[in-house]
Chains A and B, each alone.
Chain A
Amino acid sequence: MRRAILLLAPSLAVLIGIFAIPVLLLFVVSFWSVKSFRLQPDFSLAAWHRFFTVYGDLTLYTLAVGLAVGLFCTLLGFVFAYAARFKAGRFGDLLLVATLITLFGGYLVKIYAWKSILGADGLLNQALMGIGLTSQPLAFLIYSRGAVIIALVHFLLPFAILPIYASLRNVSETTIEAARDLGASASQVLMRVIVPQCLSGLFSAFAFCFLLAAGDYVTPMLLGGTSGSMLGQFVLLEFSTNFNWPAGSAMSFGLLFVCLLVIGALAAAGSRLMRRGEGAAS
C-alpha cells in the first residue's frame, strides 16, 4: 500500500499541480466579473447566463457535430479494424502500422488538404465540372458543416481504429466458430458475439472522437465558414479578442459538463448491457 502511494506520487503531483488546480481556478473565474478589461473576484452568474442564452444553440450544434463525428468514426473504425483483424490475415498488423503513420501527417496538413479538395477551384469541383455534371463550382462543398465533419472524421479515424482493433484482438476465433456451429448467421455472429465482446473498445473509440471533435476549434475556423462554426471558436474569441475570461470559462465548462453527461449516459447504458444477467450471480 505504501509502495503504491510512493509510485503514484510523482504523476499525481504533476496532475494536480498543472491540471487540477488550474482547471479549478478557471472554474472559479467563471463566476468573476470583468470591469474595464480587468478581472475582478466576484460571485456573478452573468457569464453562465450568457452561455445559456447566447451560446445555447451553438452548444447543441457543437454537440451534434461531435456526436456525428464520433458515430462515423466508430462505425468506419470498426469496419476497418474488423477487416484488419479477421480478413487481412498476416497483413493485419501492417494495416495498423499504416494507420499509425497517418497520425504523423499532422492536423493542419489534413485540413489544408481538404481545403484543396473541397475548395471552389479544388479537385472535386474541377472534376465535377470536367465531366460536365455542374457548370459552376459547388459552393456548399467547403465552408459548411459537412466539410467540418468530413475533415474531423478523417483526422480522428485512427483514434477510433486503434482501441477497437485492440479489443478485437481479444475476440477468439473459436467463439466465432462456436457461434456458427450453433447456427448463427454472419450478422448474428457480428451482433451477438463480436460486438458484445468489443464494447469497451467501441466505447473508448467513440469517447475519444466525440470529445476531441466537440472541443475542436481549428477545423471549423478553416473549413466551417459561417454555417459550420463551433463553440470552441467562440471560447477562443471570448478569451482573446473580447477579454471576457468569465464568459470563456463558463462556455468551456458548460461544454465540458454536457460532454461528460453524454459520455456518462453512454457508459451507464453500456455497463447495463454488459452486466445483464450477472446480477443474480452471487
Chain B
Amino acid sequence: MLLSTPTLAQPLSEESGQIGFYGFNDEIPEVLTTTRLRQPKTRVPGTTTVIDGAMIRDLGIMSLAEIFRLVPGMVVGDVGSGTPVTTYHGTVHYEQRRMQVLVDGRTAHRATLSDMDWQTMPVPLELIERIEVSRGPNSAAYGINAFLGTINIITRNPADTAGTEIRVVGGSRDYHRTFASVGDVSDSYDWRLAFEKRKFGGFDYQLDDDEEPIPFNSGHDINVFNYDSRLKVNSGFNADIRLGVVDGINEEDFFKDGELGATDNPDIDVRDYYLQTQLNFTTSRTHFFHVQVNFENFNRRQRWPIEVPESVVNCLIIGADVFDEANNCFQAGGTPLTANVNSDSEDSRLEFEFQDTLLFSDELKLVTGLGYRKDTFRSETFFNGRGTSYQSRVFGNLEYTPIDWLTLNGGGNWERTTTTDEGYFSPRFAANFTLGNNHALRFVYSKAVRTPDSFEQNPEYGYTLRDIAPAQYALLEGYRVESPLDTRAGTLEEENIISREISYFGQFPLDQGQFSLEVRVFKDKMRDMISGIIGFQDWTIDNNVDIDQKGFEVEAALDYPGTTFRVSYGYLDQDDWYNGPEISNNETTNYKEKKYKVALLGRLSARHSGSIVLIQNLPFGLKGSTAFYWADQLKESRFERLDLRLAKSFLQPRYTAEFAVTVQHYMNTDPDVSIDNNIEDQNQLFLEAGIRF
C-alpha cells in the first residue's frame, strides 16, 4: 500500500499516537509537476529538469530568464530593446508562445499576445523554491500552449520564509535590485509580504545605419509587490491566497519599436496585478483535490510621438495605402504632421481549475481535472476595441505499475478554444522500465497542438492619431491608420507536434557522494508551424513551415561533501522546410521568401548549448561558485560566458548575513543574438549584501 509505514520492530511509545504522518497530505511539495501527479523521476513519463532555488542564488544569477541557461536544450537571448527571450528547441524569437509557463499553477504568459514578459514577472529570485522544466510536449497535462514543454515556477511557501529578509544587489550597467520580505507563521495562518525593485540599464549601445554606436534605450525599472498566504482551517482543508502588483517602466528604443516615424522612445508603462486563490481539500491520505481561481490583469501603456511628412498626410486624406511604395507617400518637404500614437493594451484572464488526485495504491494513481479560461483583450491599436476568447478542457493521467520493474503512464488533455472553434486532444503514453529506485529507462510518445492566439488570428491593427499639430491637420484628429495586412492567407490552423523520446535516469550512490545522470534522446515532427512577420507594415504569418528535429540532451550532477558539480548539454539537429502556398511568381523571390520564412523559426535554434557548474564550500564560511554557459545560436553567433561568485556567510545566533561578489566574464566581444546587443566591458561586476533574521 502506498501509505503503509515501515514495519516497526517494536511498539512505539506514547508519542506516536499524537503525531500524524505528514508526508502525504496536500502540503507536501510535488516532486514533479510533469503529469500533475507526485512522481519520483523513475516513474515520471518524460524528462524534467529541476533547478533548485538555492542553486540559482549560489550561482549569482541576476535575472529570471538567465536561469534557463542551466536547462539542457534551452537557449536565452535578448531581442528588440533588451527583451529577454528563452525557448526550448528554438522555433520562437520575439514571441515566446510555444511553452506553457506557470507560476504556482497560474498561467504566466500574456493571454492575447501569447508572449512571455520575463522582465515583469512577479517572481523575485529570492522567492523561487524551484523551477521544474518538463522537456518535451506536455499538452497532455497543461493544455495547448505546452507545445515544446512546460516551465513550472514554484515559489517558496510562506511558512518557509517566516522572519525578515533584505538583500541588495548592485553592479554593472546600472543593475540594481532590492528585495525585502517579511512574514510569519502560526497554527492557522502563514503569510509573507515581499517587495522587489529591479532596475537595469540594458545594453551599452546599439549601432546606427552607419554601424556607429549610439545609445540604446533597453533597460527597465520595475517594482513588484507580492502577498502570499495560507489559511489553515483544519487538517483536511486549507486555502492559498496570493496577490501581486507589478508597476514600472520597461524601456523601448524608438529605433526598435516605434512605428509611424517615432520621435521619442516608446517606453512601456507596466501596471499588472493578479489575484489567486487555491482551496486545497484532503479528504484522506489517498484522496485530495483543489479548486483554483485566479484573475490576472496585464495593463500596458505605450505611447510615443510621431512625425510624418506632408506627403503622408496627403495619402491619408485620399485613403491611399501609405506603405505601398507605388503610392510614393514618403517624400521630403512640406509641413510635417506631429501626433501621438499608442500601443496600449489591457488583457485580463480569468482562470478556473479543478484537480483531483486518487491514490488507489502505490501501483495505481490517477489525477483528473477540469479547466476553464476566459481571456478578455482591450486595445484600440491591436483589436480596435475589445474581444474575448474562451478555453475549456478536461485532463487526466493514470500511473500504473503492474510489476515492480515497469511503470506505465497514460494521459491526455481535451481542449476547446474559441480562437479556432475546434476541440483538440493531446495524448501521452509512456513506459518506464525501472531497476530498483535508482534507474529508469523511459519510452515516451506524445502529441500536442498550439492554437494561434487572438492577435495572430483576429488582428485589427491600426494606430489612432491624437494631439495632432499643426492645426492645419486637425481634421485628422482621431484618424485611424490601418495596417494593410494584405498578405494574410486566411484563417490560421493549429500547429502539431508528435514527439518520441527515449530517456534514461539513474542515480549512483558513491563512496562519499552521489552521481546522477539523465539522458534524453528525442525525435519530433512539427507540422503546420506558423511562421512569418507580425508587424504593422508587414503581416505575413501563416501555417507554412514543417520541422523534423532530433537530438540528445544530457544532465549530470556529482555531489560530494561541500561540492556540487553539474553539467548540462543539448544537441539539436533541425531539418525544416516550407510547406505553404507559393509566395511569388518570380522563382528567385519565391525561393528567398520561403527560405526566409523557414529561417525565422530557426533564429533561436542552437545546435550545441550547455552549462558547466561548480559550487564549492570553502573554509572560513566562504562559498565559491563558477558557471560556464555557452550556446551556438543565430547561426554564426556564439554565446560564451563565465560567471564567478564568492560569498561569505556570517551565521550568528540571531541572524545570518551574506556578502557576495559576482563577476560575469563574456568570453568574446561579439554581440549575442542581435548586432545591437553590445556590452562595452567584457567583465561585469556585481556586489550583494543580504541579511535574514
Do A and B belong to a common assembly? Answer: no
Chain B interface residues toward A at CB < 8 A: none
Residues on A facing B (Cβ under 8 Å): none
